Every structure is written in structure tokens, then in C-alpha cells.
Amino acid sequence: MTGKEWVALLKNWQVAMLVILLVLSVVFIYPHGEDGKFTTNLQYGLDLSDGTWLQMEFQAVVAGFETDRPVVDFLSDLQKDLDAEIYRIDDQKIEIRKYFTRDELESAFAESGGRLTTYEQGVSRETAEQVKVILEEKLNALGTRDAKVNPLIGLSGVSTYVRVELAGVGLAQAQEIVGKQGRFEIRIQTAGNETEHVLYGDAINTVGVPTQEPPGSNRWGVSFTLTEQGAVQFRDAAILYGATTDPARHYLNMILDGNVVYSAPLSPDLAAKLRVEPIRELVASTGAGQEGLDAAKNLEIHLRAGALPVEVKVAGSGYVPAALSDYFKTMAIVAFVVATIAVGIVVFLRYREPSIVLPMIGVNLSEIVILLGVASLIQQQLDLAAIAGLIAVLGTGIDQLVIITDEVLHEGKVPSPNIYQKRLTRAIGIIMISAVTVIIAMLPLALMSLSTLRGFAIITILGVVIGVLVTRPAYGKIIMAILSK
Amino acid sequence: MGFITYDVNRYTPKQMMVIPLIVLILSLAVLGYNMATTGTLLTPGMDFSGGTAVTLFTADSPDMLRETFSGYPLISVDGGINDGKYLKFGPMDDASFQSLAELITERYPDAKIDQIGASFGKTLQGQASIALLLSFIGMAIVVFVAFRALVPAGAVVFCALTDIIMTAAVMTLVGIELSLPTTAALLMLIGYSVDSDILLTMRVLKRQGRLSEKLSGAFRTGIIMTTTTLAAIAAMWVVAAVGQITVIRDIASVLIIGLLLDMMNTWLMNAGIIKWYMQKGGAK
């Protein structure tokens, strides 16, 4: 083609758009070298980058209620009966921060003079957001490269699961930090094996970093200060149970999620001080050596960020090591290249005309490049499922280019511009219908919060939209310009 | 393409539709049998039934691995080329999983672990079924709106449905489980399946000319469409099978099965219905 014809072709808006989008996409993908390694702006999700995922189930229930009694009375009776914290979402709904089956709740509601109207395991949107904030704080303290916390909120506004993805963190550590509620409690020994509750982690004001207690001893601990009220509570309990007068027989227990992290008699020194005034500075010793240090670090994180409002249970989890994620990435690229070559061979066998086959493959590949550009712009993560989506786009893309080619080249001759335009419009009509069906078919998956196949659906929908709006019509123009020679 | 010798115009609509209908009945029988014996249409994979999957690369033999993990509910060990091993464990409690994870991390630090709790699996399965159902209904609505004629639109939707039913039956026969990736593949299949059906219907309904010409034209285009897609997916299957990427291998397997069946359904069943419809004077 001459330069003039190229210019004329570029004046078509779809062709121009194709070129502009291609250039923009390359800019967004930004392939560049970093520390001597080739890298891009593409974001990789799990499987293609190393790290851990945890999906946790809230051990709580959102329930609808009806009662003829004053709501406050009903709720306070219910709270006593269930022995669980109750958060009132609105006039008809409450969040019970402990897990109960529907049957259990139905009878408890009836006993308190009400009726259970709806039942859904999970927490309210507000609580889910609160969990997100707390978890993010804990993860920041862990110093991960990249952490994502997503409460999965259903259409009813109830969140049953929260999904956490952590780059470069092992499964065991992730479960320690994220898979636990982080509820800290101090209990004091009263008599024999009996202990009595003193205070929870919310009575803690500031938290220190893990230090050696005493310094240079290789025994680790975390110091923390109580709030004024907490300190009074602590002193009152110590005096009430006689710990201040007989410290050796009154163990001080510090408990994290039901596990005792520290248990030792109240020190005589502390007991003497407590007799005089409330003490705000306390230390939780966690043990010696590396194990003690790790435990101290975990305790520090939980003390700082505080407990989650509800208990969580790990519903699913996974870990991908760096070696394997790199391998997956390589294989995904190999699969992609081999697939493209296979498509090229089949299309060539059918048309035996490089001037048709090359633009076809070219447009098909540019669709993928633009799709990757959009993906890196909207920060859509690529995981193995999204790669499957890319391949789906490659497949439907080539299908539709074949439809356009055959429609336009009907009877093997290149038609006059007028007829050509008509045929192109008709071809686009066909691909529009199949595009809309694909989009509609993928929509439920893209909107469903729970599914890990979301990336797949989003990539497929994006690809189809880019395809029918820009690249495939542009292909129609390009093939016309080339063939009318 | 030289190697395809089928002529869409040679047979009567009835003759065309006999084979797919027989296959459909057989497929329903397979699924019905599976339903009766196992209680599910398709065997749910680990994603849905709960369990732990481990991918690792080691020269240790499957027997050695069975020995190593004898304390855990190990279900199967699949081996591949370049020492890739794929281990499946049944559901276990949190404490066992913790200790399993520690054992794996200690022995095979480069192992990929995925664990799904049984109840979470059930929720996933529920969502996946809803997604499939909604997708199918959405697709059907689009097709009916696009063609606004009962028989041609019905034929497209029926064909997509038979594609899915037959693919599901073959999956049962060859032992491919229903998992998140294979659900994705079935959804993709809805898209691929209607592609060639829509082409066929559009060509026959909206173009001028003799029916036989339109049919064979659509067939030529349709076959090249499906074969290119098949070529791409077959290539993917080979790479994924050799490289032990189970997610992509499973998706590719289902798509290959589905596309092959789709060729039959489109060019025997759908073409048969539309031919009968046109011959009855259905087109205005």
C-alpha cells in the first residue's frame, strides 16, 4: 500500500482507535527492565505470584426479628439467654456475634418473647468494614509487600466471608495473624485452679515493641500500658482476690484466643506497688529464644490492632511458592504462544493468503495487548483463571474475525465499497449478538462476590467489549483496504 | 478444508437430527445413572467437596509420597512429566491441616497448597450452580430478543443446552470432576456454542439466496471458526498437560469435548431444525 492509502485507512475512527489504544496499552503495561530483569506493570494474582490466600468465615449471624415487647427489653433478654454480644443493625435486624444454628436461635428468640424472621450466617456491612480495617492494620505490622483484604458482601448486605491475599507470606504465619480473632484477656487465679476475668485487650492503651525482659536475657516480652480505668480494674481484682497480699499463690494469666501466652505468679514487687496505687505498666513475657521472639511479635500485632469484633474460622486457604508461580507464569506464556501459532496455521490452511492471515492474527493479538493494557489500568489482577479468560477472548476473537472475513469476501470476490459496507454491517450484526450473549453469560460470575472466577469473567467481558467496539470493526476496514489492491 | 466431507444439504432434517437426539438420550441416561448412584449430576471436585490439593515437584515416587503422608487422608497421587506431582487429600480438621501444612513446608518448601473447607465448598458449589443457571437464562433471553422467532431462537438455545448436557455426560464418563475451572469452561462453552449457532441462523434467516447455498456457506464459515478455536485449545491442552498446570488442562479438556459435540449439535441438530423450519415456509 502507498503512504496515502495508509493515511486514508487511519482516518477511519475505529482503525485510528485501534492504533491509539495499542499505543496506550503498551504505555500502561510499561514493559521495562528493572535490576536487569524484564518486568511490566501487570498485576499478578495468586498462582502467578507467590503468597498466601485465606478465606475466612465469620462465626456470627445476622438475624431479622419481630417482637411485641419493647425492643430494648427483648434484646437484653436475648443477650442474656445467648450469652453473646448483640449489635443492632436496624429496627428489624441484629447481628449476633457468635455462631448459632437457626434452630437454636428460633427457640432463643421465642423464649425472649420474639420471633426470628430471617437468618443468615455472617456480619453486617459495618462490622465487615471494621474487620477489614483491623486486619489491614495487623498485616501492615507484619510488613508484607502487598496485602489485600476483601470482605465478600452479598446482595442482602450480609458478609459471610472475608478473603485475604498476602504476597510473600507463608501459610502458617498468615494463619497466626489473620486466621485468629486476636482476643486478649487477663485472668487472675483466685483459689485452687479457678481463675477470674480481669480485663480484655480493649483496656490496653499503648503497646511496646518486643524487648528482652530483663534486657540481655534472651527472654522476650511485650510491654503495654493499661487505660486508667483498666488499671483500676486490675488493681481492684488483685486486691479482691487477695493477690496483693499473697502474690505467690495467685497466678496472672494472659490469654490470646484461648491459648495461655503467659502464666506466672504475680511478682512480689508488683504486688507491693498495687497495694499503694493502680499500676498501668505491664509486661507479657512470651518465652526464650526465637520462638519467644516470634510469639512476642504476634502478640504485639494482636494487641496493637485489637481483636476482631467476631471470631473467624478459616474456610479455605492456599499457598503458592515463588518457584511455582514463576513456573506457572512461564507456562502460561508458552501455552499462549503455542495457541496463537496453532490458530495461525489453521487460518492459513483455510485462506492460504498471507494478506488475510497476517492482519487476522495481528488484530487478534492486538486485542490481547489492549486487554492487558486495560487490565493494568484498572489494576485487575491476572491469575490462572484470568489467563483462561484471555484464551477465551483469543478464541472468540478469531471466530468473529472469520465471520467478518467470510461475510465480506462472499463468493470469493472483493465487492464494491457500497456492498462491502452493507456486508460489514451485517457481519458486525452477527458478532454483536454473540458478543451480547457472552457478556450476559459472564455477568453473573462477574457480579458474584464469592467466586474466585471473577477475574476470568471480568477479563472475558472486557475482551469482548473491546473486540466488538473497536478491534473487530477495525479489522473489517483493514482487510478491505488490503484486498481492494 | 479438504478433510471435512460432510455435506449439510445431503440429508433430510429428520435424518440429521436422529444422531444428536440419540446421543442426547444416552447423555441424559449417563447423568441420570450418576444422579441415582451418587446423588449428584456431576462428580464434585475438591473445590466443591472440600479437601486439600498439593502440587509439588519431586523425584520421590508416588509410593514414597504415600508413605510420607500416611497419617493424612491422602486420596490420590497423580504424576506428570518433569517430576510434577499432584496430591489430593480428603477433608480434615484444622489441627491436622496445620500439621500437614508444616510437614509439607518442611519437606517440600516449593509446594503449592490449596485447602477448601467442606462447608465453604458447598457454598461455592451453590454459587457456581446459580452462575451457570443465570448465564444460561441470560443467554436464552438475548437469543430470543435477537431473533424474535420461536423456532430459530429455540433451536439455538436447545443446542446450547444439549452441548452442556452432553459435555457433562462425557465429563462423567472420562472422570473429569466439576470444579471452579471446569465450571468456567462450561460457561465459556455457552459462549462458543451460540457463536456458530447464531452465525447459522443469521445467515439462513437474513441473507437472500437459496437455502442450500446459505447452509453450505454457513457450514464452511462455522467449521473454520470451530476448528481454529479447537486448534488454540488443543495447543493449550498439550502445554498444560505436559507442564502439569491442572487448572488450564481441565478447562481445555472440557472445551475440547464441548466444541467437538457442538460441531455435531450445530450442523446436525440446529441445521436440521432450521432447514425444516425454512422448508415449512417459516421465513415469512
- Going by CATH, does the domain composed of B13-45+119-279 fall within 3.40.50.720? no
Share of chain B above pLDDT 90, in %: 32
Residue labelled with grid coordinates 438455545? B157
Cβ–Cβ of A402/B224 closer than 8 Å?
Answer: yes
| Range(s) of chain A covered by CATH 3.30.1360.200 | 184-312
Sign, CA torsion B27/B28/B31/B36: negative
| Range(s) of chain A covered by CATH 1.20.1640.10 | 3-47+321-483
pLDDT computed for residue A449 by the predictor: 65
Options 1.10.3720.10, 2.40.40.20, 3.30.70.100, 3.40.50.720; which CATH number does A58-123 get?
3.30.70.100
Task: Give CATH superfamily name and number for B51-116.
Answer: ACT domain (3.30.70.260)
Asked if A333 reaches chain B (Cβ–Cβ under 8 Å), the answer is no
Q: How far is A92 from A65, CA to CA, in rounded Å?
A: 5
pLDDT computed for residue A411 by the predictor: 59
| CB nearest B239 (choices: A338, A440, A452) | A338
Out of A360-364, B90-94, B148-152, B225-229, pick the least confident.
B90-94
Asked if B117 reaches chain A (Cβ–Cβ under 8 Å), the answer is yes
Residue A336's pLDDT band (cuts 50, 70, 90): confident
Residues of chain A contacting residue B179, judged by C-beta atoms under 8 Å apart: none
Taking each helix axis from N to C terminus, what angle separates B13-38 and B246-264, rounded to the nearest 10 degrees?
A: 140
Cβ–Cβ of B206/A172 closer than 8 Å?
Answer: no
Chain B nearest CA to A24, separation (Å): 27
Site from B98, B110, B112 to mutate, A interface, most A CB atoms within 10 angstroms? B112
Cβ–Cβ of B236/A410 closer than 8 Å?
Answer: no
Asked if A398 reaches chain B (Cβ–Cβ under 8 Å), the answer is yes
pLDDT computed for residue A145 by the predictor: 64
Residue labelled with grid coordinates 494478506? A355
Instruction: Report the candidate in A177, A336, A407, A339 with the shortest Cα–Cα distance to residue B220.
Output: A407
Architecture of domain A3-47+321-483: Up-down Bundle (1.20)
Residue B162's pLDDT band (cuts 50, 70, 90): very high
Asked if B174 reaches chain A (Cβ–Cβ under 8 Å), the answer is no
Residues of chain B contacting residue A346, judged by C-beta atoms under 8 Å apart: 224, 227-228, 231
Cβ–Cβ of A441/B236 closer than 8 Å?
Answer: no
Is the confidence at residue B284, as pLDDT, over 50? no
* SS3 readout for chain A: CCHHHHHHHHHCHHHHHHHHHHHHHHHHHCCEEECCEEECCCCECECCECEEEEEEEECCEEEEEEECCCHHHHHHHHHHHHCCCEEECCCCEEEECCCCCHHHHHHHHHHCCEEEEEEEECEEHHHHHHHHHHHHHHHHHHCCCCEEEEEEECCCCEEEEEEEEEECCCHHHHHHHCCCCCCEEEEEECCCCCEEEEEEHHHEEEECCCEECCCCCCEEEEEEEECHHHHHHHHHHHHHCCCCCCHHHCEEEEEECCEEEEEEECCHHHHHHHHHCCCCEEEEEEEEHHHHHHHHHHHHHHHHHCCCCCCEEEEEEEEECHHHHHHHHHHHHHHHHHHHHHHHHHHHHHHCCHHHHHHHHHHHHHHHHHHHHHHHHCCCCECHHHHHHHHHHHHHHHHHHHHHHHHHCHHHCCCCHHHHHHHHHHHHHHHHHHHHHHHHHHHHHHHCCCCCCHHHHHHHHHHHHHHHHHHHHHHHHHHHHHHCC
Residue A450's pLDDT band (cuts 50, 70, 90): low
Q: The C-alpha cell of A3 is what?
A: 503512504
Contact A43, A382 (CB under 8 A): yes
CATH number assigned to the domain covering A184-312? 3.30.1360.200
Asked if B215 reaches chain A (Cβ–Cβ under 8 Å), the answer is no
Cβ–Cβ of B138/A433 closer than 8 Å?
Answer: no
pLDDT computed for residue B152 by the predictor: 92
The number of C-beta contacts closer than 8 angstroms across A and B is: 232
Out of A59-73, B71-85, B203-217, B269-283, pick the least confident.
B71-85
Is the confidence at residue B31, as pLDDT, over 70? yes
Q: What is the mean pLDDT of residues A441-462?
A: 81
Q: What is the mean pLDDT of residues A89-107?
A: 91
- pLDDT tens, A134-157? 888 888 877 666 788 888 887 788
- pLDDT tens, A43-87? 887 778 888 888 889 999 999 999 898 888 898 889 888 888 888
Task: Give me the torsion for CA of A212, A215, A217, A218, rounded to 10°.
Answer: 30
Question: What ranges do the domains of chain B cover?
Answer: 13-45+119-279, 51-116
Is the confidence at residue B9, as pLDDT, over 50? yes
Could you tell me whether strands B84-89 and A312-320 are parallel, antiparallel, or unpaired per DSSP bridges? Answer: unpaired
Q: How far is A95 from B2, CA to CA, in rounded Å?
A: 67
Residues of chain B contacting residue A160, judged by C-beta atoms under 8 Å apart: 123
| CB nearest A391 (choices: B110, B225, B236) | B236
Q: How far is B238 from B231, CA to CA, in rounded Å?
A: 11
Cβ–Cβ of A406/B220 closer than 8 Å?
Answer: yes
Q: What is the mean pLDDT of residues A194-202?
A: 85
DSSP of chain B, one letter per residue?
A: -TT----TTSS-HHHHHHHHHHHHHHHHHHHHHHHHHHSSSS-B-HHHH-EEEEEEE-SS-HHHHHHHTTTS-EEEEEE-STTEEEEEE----HHHHHHHHHHHHHH-TT-EEEEE-HHHHHHHHHHHHHHHHHHHHHHHHHHHHHH--HHHHHHHHHHHHHHHHHHHHHHHHHTPPB-HHHHHHHHHHHHHHHHHHHHHHHHHHHS-S-HHHHHHHHHHHHHHHHHHHHHHHHHHHHHHHHHT-HHHHHHHHHHHHHHHHHHHIIIIIIHHHHHHHHHTT---
Asked if A126 reaches chain B (Cβ–Cβ under 8 Å), the answer is no
Q: What is the pTM of this model?
A: 0.82
Q: What is the mean pLDDT of residues A343-360?
A: 89
Is the confidence at residue A176, as pLDDT, over 70? yes
Residues of chain A contacting residue B228, judged by C-beta atoms under 8 Å apart: 343, 346-347, 395, 398-399, 402
Asked if B224 reaches chain A (Cβ–Cβ under 8 Å), the answer is yes
